Amino acid sequence: MEKMNFEHEYDEDGGVFYLVDDGERLGKITYDDVDGDRFVVDWVEVEPQFRDQGLARRLIDRIANFARDRGVMIRPTCGVTRSIMERHSEFADVLDRGDTERAEP
């Protein structure tokens, strides 16, 4: 997994970042663009054979940097994303804690 990069697909309502290695999609994170000032991150997923390698964290880092570049906040409704963002202070500048709904298990 030396050539990992991100692919981004989006429209005016939101988008998805894919983590890709040598043409293979290893995982994804999806978001909705709310009023141009907040991303609602509703899903992060890593293919089973690539779990426990820090790839979900890489996807969350990517969406956080994307939000910073655009000056928007992230409201995570995905439990994994919310847990990681709340545990790590480096996300404090983009984490919108208000009215965060719990994702269904």
What angle, 0 to 180 degrees and rounded to 10, lies between the N-to-C axes of helices 55-70 and 79-87?
A: 80
Q: What is the overall mean pLDDT for the chain?
A: 91
Q: Tell me the H-state helices in 1-105.
A: 55-70, 79-87
Domain 4-91: CATH superfamily is: Gcn5-related N-acetyltransferase (GNAT) (3.40.630.30)
25, two tokens: 């999609």
Domain ranges across the chain: 4-91
- Kindly state the percentage of the chain with pLDDT values over 90: 83
pLDDT higher than 90, residue 1: no
- 90 DSSP assignment: G
Give dist(CA 26, CA 34) in Å, integer.
27
Q: Which two tokens stand for residue 91?
A: 């996300």
pLDDT in tens, 21-60: 999 999 999 999 988 899 999 999 999 999 999 999 999 9
Specify the pLDDT at position 2: 65
Query: Both tokens of residue 63?
Result: 């969406």
